[in-house]
Amino acid sequence: MANENSKKKIINRLRTLKGHIAGIEKMVEEGKDCEDILIQIAAVKSSIHKIGTIIVEEHALDCLLREDDDERFDKEKVKKVIKTLINYTK
């Protein structure tokens, strides 16, 4: 997984995301306008995508550029990273 700094950033984004979801729940309970709710849902979707992108990037860097490995890329590691990217973007 990510280094400690990246992990903290991801956790902070996830906590912020929880707050946004709670806000959407409150908007629904209060009968707010559908357009406003959908705007907030779009913002949450964007946040989730950004968090996923950060995690995929960290995974790729961690998997492909480990310091304990030699300089050559391992074909299986590259395939695994590509598969992860494809699954994430579906």
Full residue range of the structural domain in which residue 62 is found: 4-89
State how far Cα 53 lies from the chain centre. Answer: 5
pLDDT for res 72: 62
Position 2 scores a pLDDT of: 58
Along the 90 residues of the chain, how does pLDDT read in single tens digits?
557 888 888 999 999 999 999 999 999 999 999 999 999 999 999 999 888 888 888 877 776 666 555 556 677 777 777 888 777 777
CATH number of the structural domain spanning residue 31: 1.20.58.1000
Q: How many domains does the chain divide into? A: 1
